[in-house]
Structure 1
Amino acid sequence: MTRILIVEDDAELGELLVRAFAGAGYDADLARDGQAGLHRALTRSYHALIIDRGLPAIEGLDLLARLRRSGVEAPALILTALGTVADRVAGLDGGAEDYLVKPFELDELLARVRVLLRRPAAPAGHVLPIGDAEFDLIARTVTTDDGLPVTLSGRESDLLRLLAENPARVFTRREIVTTVFPESSTETLADTYVHYLRRKLGPDVIATVRGAGYQLGRR
């Protein structure tokens, strides 16, 4: 059975989410603070994580960062009342694959988790070449010429993986959004995350093919 960890300090909401996921056929565990969530995630294997951002003991993004450093790679969705663009970017850059603002509809949350669970796992040979650099799919890092790893967010990693696994192919903005952001129809997300990757890895990491889209660049 698919196992979900929910880290939510609101007792009523937490129990509601456990019942909703159990009713949908999942095995759902609930932790009510960041410390309890850290313990559960490090002692049991989960297929997906749902983490409230405003947690006691360990704040949600700090919790996720600790889990990523400890090798926990289950896809994560951040739940929060903080809904500005800057907040969403911080959540995605902090290692989350998705970000949902409260209040939300249960059906949408369940749908987003289904999308997370459909994402392919990293292959056994989990390092891809990006020009002269190496892209570690599990650690979500790109090691450049200076030997220093650059950490990517979940969505940045998904986009770079799409291009790196198909280096000769040009992807339209629509294809990128459909693959990397399946819950969205906003094509400008492709442009935004190309900008994020260029900012982190250099302007040549992704090439713009005028009138067509984007493909892996030459570094």
Structure 2
Amino acid sequence: MTDAVVPAARVLVVEDDRELGPLLLRLFRGAGYEPDLAADGQAGLHLALTRRYDAMILDRGLPAVEGLDLLGRLRKSGVDVPALVLTALGTTADRVTGLDSGAEDYLVKPFEVDELLARVRVLLRRRSTTAGEQLPVGRATFDLIARTVTDPDGSVVALSGRESDLLRLLAQHPGRAFTREQILTRVFPDATGVALVDTYVHYLRRKLGPAVVATVRGVGYRLGAG
């Protein structure tokens, strides 16, 4: 059996304040997370739609796309990353509006660093215990947090981050075929050239067997029998 290394949680920070944004980036890095920073709502929306995150911290008063509007668009698109709204708007009505818009938590500025980190840990614990963190891949089980695939006999295969992201996309939509262009946009947004998709399909087949990803002629790829 292979011992898998659990990766650091990925956190998206959407904050337009030129001082607070970089400060939060350093804070999360220092706490052992892998954070990304978006300085406006449009950039935050793009990152959240094209990359996988374990938690999101966002301001309400964002340029380009307002924070709660951003969150509403993500929820309508099926993005369920746990979100904490970090804002100066602290009335009861503001909190209720934020939570009703799809946020899991709401913290008012100014805030204590220890409290923010504690609330993020709660978000991550909730996410790691939800049933959606394990997906079937044929007769095997794919653990989204540990990025491992466990066979019925108990053997474990560890995946790289990109291998895991590709398998996650296919496993979350088991009956759907994706074009190579769609996979490139969703899994490898910073890359160019669909040949990279073929490369990672090859990696998954080599690790998990040739049937794990099925080729759909004239379309692209879908989850196979595993």
Query: Identity of paired residues, percent?
Result: 74
What's the offset of the Cα at 1:122? 3.5
Q: Whole-Å Cα distance in 2 between the matches of residues 52 and 84 of structure 1?
A: 15
Which protein is bigger by CA-based radius of gyration? 2
Cα deviation digits, residues 110-165 of structure 1 (max 9, x gap): 0000000001224489xxxxxxxxxxxxxxxxxxxxxxxxxxxxxxxxxxxxxxxx
Q: Write the letter of the residue equivalent to 1:23.
A: G
TM-score (norm 1): 0.56
- Alignment counterpart, residue 99 of structure 1, candidates 94, 106, 109: 106
Higher RCO, Cα 8 Å, sep 6+: 2
RMSD over aligned Cα atoms: 1.6
Q: Does 1:111 align with 2:122?
A: no
Say which SS state the counterpart of residue 91 (structure 1) adopts: helix
- Where does residue 15 of structure 2 map in the other structure? 8
Change (3 A) 1:118 1:7: same
Q: Whole-Å Cα distance in 2 between the matches of residues 37 and 122 of structure 1?
A: 26
- Where does residue 96 of structure 2 map in the other structure? 89
Q: Whole-Å Cα distance in 1 between the matches of residues 131 and 117 of structure 2?
A: 23
Q: Whole-Å Cα distance in 1 between the matches of residues 78 and 11 of structure 2?
A: 17
- Alignment counterpart, residue 81 of structure 2, candidates 69, 74, 82: 74
- Alignment counterpart, residue 67 of structure 2, candidates 60, 69, 78: 60
More off after superposition, 114-123 vs 44-53: 114-123
Q: Does 1:28 align with 2:35?
A: yes
Q: Write the letter of the residue equivalent to 2:15.
A: E
Say which SS state the counterpart of residue 45 (structure 2) adopts: helix
- Where does residue 39 of structure 1 map in the other structure? 46
Q: Whole-Å Cα distance in 1 between the matches of residues 73 and 60 of structure 2?
A: 14
Q: Whole-Å Cα distance in 2 between the matches of residues 123 and 48 of structure 1?
A: 15
Q: Whole-Å Cα distance in 2 between the matches of residues 32 and 24 of structure 1?
A: 21
Unmatched runs of 5 consecutive residues or more in structure 2: 1-7, 135-226
What's the offset of the Cα at 1:106? 1.0
Q: Whole-Å Cα distance in 2 between the matches of residues 54 and 15 of structure 1?
A: 17
Say which SS state the counterpart of residue 65 (structure 1) adopts: helix
Say which SS state the counterpart of residue 29 (structure 1) adopts: strand
Q: Write the letter of the residue equivalent to 1:50.
A: I
Say which SS state the counterpart of residue 41 (structure 1) adopts: helix
Change (3 A) 1:111 1:124: closer
Q: Whole-Å Cα distance in 2 between the matches of residues 123 and 90 of structure 1?
A: 26
Q: Whole-Å Cα distance in 2 between the matches of residues 66 and 123 of structure 1?
A: 21
